[in-house]
Amino acid sequence: MILPERLKKGDTIGIIAPSDPIIGENIEELEQARKIVEKDGFKVKYSKNIFSNTNGYSSTAKEKAEDINDMFADKEVKMIWCAKGGNNSNSVFEYLDYELIKQNPKIFCGYSDITSLTNVITEKTGLVTFSGTNFKTIATDETNYSYKEAIKRFVEGSLEIGEPEEKYYTIQEGIAEGELIGGNLSLTRSMVSGKYSIDFTDKILFLEELGFETDPALANNFLYYMKQNGVFDKIKGLWIGNYEHESGIALEKIIMDVFGDEYKFPIIKSNNFGHTETKTVIPIGTKAKIDTSKEVKIELIESCVKNV
């Protein structure tokens, strides 16, 4: 496990767009986010290809990978923040310089489609990465909850998950410890097998999904694929995040439809991560503990950033 250094006021944050292109209103939203972050005392540096749309639906895989590699190599940059999500950040996998990343550890944050990048980087290098708000969302969220969570984790080094008054629900009782892994269900499912698969052994898996794109039947499909490939035989616990679909069917119901009574590990639910206003920052690659007897049913038990 490799910890990135804690972020300090005055540090430079590198912004990349490894998923959908930054075009149209996204450009202004990015500038608004930049102003918020600079007002708080940080410097912002855009990657070379951040506004590229070479393919007409995104920049090329090599352009995206170049930006990621360059940001890790740039000694001035102390954190890399993904601008937004989308559909094809996995296109960069074969062009990333994993040894360069390993030798230049720094905070790497994003969610949704960025799940592919955070998990593969942690898997290939041992660097702790983070599931948290994307950079653009700092400006588009109705509240500053998710931005405050990022500052709390990256600047203060806090291990607190969300706010103390948030509700956690027990789906299946138990106690478990393990390294955190996961993020968006559809993206996590795509990393179950193949050259860029991730190791689920003895992990605490966290999952959320965007109901607008993934209806209950498709979520069921993804979960059965994971079940059929042995994922749930390997993990120590499951943490379910936000999922909202017009049917009103909850993700925990879909999961238990798949699980039946086959698995005995603890399962909890909260609404403080995923495609929602309230996005806490979850480290990928450090240990957490689930204890369903407690009011706050999950806690981080290892540091995820280090002091300089």
d(CA 40, CA 43): 9
One domain for residues 139 and 264 = no
pLDDT at 307: 78
Q: Which of 103, 123, 154 is the last residue of a domain?
A: 154
Q: What is the CATH number of the domain that holds 202?
A: 3.50.30.60
**Based on the structure, what is the number of domains in the chain?**
2
User: Pairing mode, if any, of strands 12-16 and 43-46?
Assistant: parallel
Contact predicate 45/12, CB 8 Å? yes
pLDDT at 308: 63
One domain for residues 140 and 208 = no
One domain for residues 185 and 270 = yes
One domain for residues 114 and 207 = no
Amino acid sitting at position 293 = S
One domain for residues 214 and 119 = no
One domain for residues 195 and 126 = no
One domain for residues 26 and 58 = yes
Q: Which of 154, 189, 209 is the last residue of a domain?
A: 154
Show the CA angle centred on residue 61, arms to residues 59 and 62, nearest 5°: 100
306 within domain boundaries? no
163 within domain boundaries? no
One domain for residues 18 and 44 = yes
Contact predicate 73/96, CB 8 Å? no
84 within domain boundaries? yes
Q: What is the CATH number of the domain that holds 75?
A: 3.40.50.10740
Q: What is the mean pLDDT of each run of 10 residues along the chain (308 residues)?
A: 96 97 95 97 97 95 98 98 96 98 98 97 98 96 95 96 94 98 97 96 98 96 98 98 96 96 97 95 98 96 90
pLDDT digits (tens, 9 = 90+) for 225-267: 999 999 999 999 999 999 999 999 999 999 999 999 999 999 9
270 within domain boundaries? yes
181 within domain boundaries? yes
One domain for residues 213 and 107 = no
One domain for residues 49 and 78 = yes
Q: Which of 154, 181, 216 is the last residue of a domain?
A: 154
Contact predicate 141/133, CB 8 Å? yes
One domain for residues 178 and 244 = yes
Domain that holds residue 244: 168-300
One domain for residues 20 and 105 = yes
72 within domain boundaries? yes
CA distances from 70 to 61, 63, 81, 270 (A): 14, 10, 13, 36
d(CA 231, CA 201): 8
If 0-12 CB within 10 Å is exposed, 13-18 middle and 19+ buried, where does residue 140 land? middle
Largest CA distance in the chain: 52
pLDDT digits (tens, 9 = 90+) for 169-209: 999 999 999 999 999 999 999 999 999 999 999 999 999 99
31 within domain boundaries? yes
305 within domain boundaries? no
